[in-house]
Amino acid sequence: MSLKKMSIDQKTLADKKLTRNTLAKEIIAQSIYMKEKGLTPGHTGNISARYEDGFLITPTGVPYNQLKPDQIVHIVSLEENCDEQKLWDQSGFRPSSEWQFHRAAYQANKSIKALVHTHSNYATILACAGKEIPPFHYMIAAAGADVIPLVPYAIFGSKQLSDGVKISMTGGKACLLAHHGQLAGEGTLAKAMELAEIVEDLAHQYWALLQLGDVKLLSKSEMKAVHQKFKTYGQQNI
Ligand SMILES: [Zn+2]
């Protein structure tokens, strides 16, 4: 059927499908990039992007290089009390087992439009040592706050873990998850991936500094000035 012959409803549906397909392809591309960059051992990471009233997220148990756009799962609502049976198409693929903390991050921070979760090495090492990342470097401000906080341990898929993520992501865009990994969110999928890479680099640097034993931190006022400068000039160009 040509576009001209479509009713308005059909055209809206076709447009929606196109948008979803484009976003799903971008999620797959970022998943493959994450694997190729060595940011996620095995297939332990997951990626999502806001879509309509909910979000699209990678499915559980499908290798990234075998993902197809229609396997990317649509969680239709951010509501806590929404019946799980109605949250996604039960006849299709199941979402990542960590979908609940993606929802918690979207609930917590409206500026976050996409999320990357990985078990990247150095972020995970610090998270297993029970350490947050303090402002030893000005780029900590890229994560939106003066520290990259540590969410206390709770088993994956639990409400307790989601509640911890919600608290941490309210004031910032990235956090470490104790005995687990990291979560980074931004305005686009590409920026969320870039932030996850920044968090991993900062974790590596902080880990190395801890070996030296004398970590010097930036003051509150120095960090305030960095946040201000990021607002003015755009953090991605610094
Ligand atoms: Zn995980």
pLDDT in tens, 25-81: 999 999 999 999 999 988 889 999 999 999 999 999 899 999 999 999 999 999 988
pLDDT (average), residues 193-201: 98
Q: What is the CA angle 65-103-127, rounded to 5?
A: 75
CA of 82 to the centre of ligand 1 (A): 23
SS (H, E, C) the chain: CCHHHCCHHHHHHHHHHHHHHHHHHHHHHHHHHHHHCCCCCCCCCEEEEEECCEEEECECCCCHHHCCHHHCEEECCCCCCCCHHHHCCCCCCCECCCHHHHHHHHHHCCCCCEEEEECCHHHHHHHHCCCCECCCCHHHHHHCCCCECEECCCCCCCHHHHHHHHHHHHCCCEEEECCCEEEEEECCHHHHHHHHHHHHHHHHHHHHHHHHCCCCCCCHHHHHHHHHHHHHHCHHHC
- Tell me the pLDDT band of 13, cut-offs 50, 70 and 90: confident
Q: Count how many residues are written for the chain.
A: 238
Q: How far is CA 137 from the centre of its chain?
A: 22
pLDDT of residue 195: 98
Q: Which CATH number fits domain 3-237: 3.40.50.12240, 3.40.225.10, 1.20.1530.20, 3.40.50.300?
A: 3.40.225.10
CA of 56 to the centre of ligand 1 (A): 17
CA of 124 to the centre of ligand 1 (A): 10
> Does pTM surpass 0.85?
yes
CA of 44 to the centre of ligand 1 (A): 6
Q: What is the residue extent of each domain of the chain?
A: 3-237
- Tell me the pLDDT band of 234, cut-offs 50, 70 and 90: low
Cα gap 89→54, rounded to integer Å: 13
CA of 125 to the centre of ligand 1 (A): 14
Cα gap 231→213, rounded to integer Å: 33
> What does the pLDDT look like over 122-137, one tens digit per residue?
999 999 999 999 999 9
Active-site residue numbers? 98
